[in-house]
Amino acid sequence: MAHSEDPFYLVRADVLPEAIQKTIEAKRMLETGEAHTVQEAVEKAGISRSSFYKYRDSVFPFNAMMKEKIITLSLTLEHRSGVLSSVLGYLASLGCNVLTIHQTIPLQGVANVALSVDTAQVTKRVTEITEGLQELPGVRSAILVASGE
């Protein structure tokens, strides 16, 4: 079992060992109700129960690790009235709680904004939040730069 001080790694799914990929599949089946018991999930995934129990508490989808955390976003906004307001309104509509805002002085018609946001009440994935921000008028870029509790 992983301890809080153990490092985390971001690894592409296609390079994970088969046992870990099958553990992820079994966990997904249990979460979605496709399988009702561990035995049913491991049989469908083609993995032993012992392998499932070995890895289940140490492997998570990337977005699951980011859920219910404080995130830091970096935005590049056009220097126009209402752009930052629309960003804040969008985040509020998702249930985000904006903790800090830092905006640079606009240069060449754009300003950089760093936001610390509590996503504990948000149902969307962080990638969906950044994609939604990028669709707002006046938002040139929205990037996740940090995630933590």
The answer to whether the pTM exceeds 0.75 is no
Angle of helix 38-45 versus helix 18-32 axis, rounded to 10: 130
Q: Give tens-digit pLDDT for 113-131.
A: 999 998 888 888 888 999 9
| Domain extent at residue 144 | 66-148
| Cβ atoms within 10 Å, residue 3 | 5
DSSP string, 98-121: EEEEEEPPPBTTEEEEEEEEE-TT
Average pLDDT (56-80) is 79
Average of per-residue pLDDT values in the chain = 87
Task: Clarify whether residues 87 and 135 are in a common domain.
Answer: yes
pLDDT greater than 50 at residue 2? no
Which of 40, 60, 80 is a domain's end point?
60
Q: What is the CATH number of the domain that holds 78?
A: 3.30.70.260
Task: Clarify whether residues 80 and 103 are in a common domain.
Answer: yes
pLDDT greater than 90 at residue 58? no
Task: Clarify whether residues 110 and 143 are in a common domain.
Answer: yes
pLDDT greater than 90 at residue 11? no
Task: Clarify whether residues 52 and 108 are in a common domain.
Answer: no
Task: Clarify whether residues 84 and 51 are in a common domain.
Answer: no
- Beta-carbon contacts of 95 under 8 Å, excluding residues fewer than 6 positions away, are 121, 122, 123
Average pLDDT (73-77) is 96
Please name the residue that has the structure tokens 């060449």.
108
Task: State both tokens at 16.
Answer: 């994970």
**pLDDT band at residue 133, thresholds of 50, 70 and 90?**
very high
Domains of the chain: total = 2
As a whole-number percent, the residues of the chain with pLDDT over 70 amount to 90
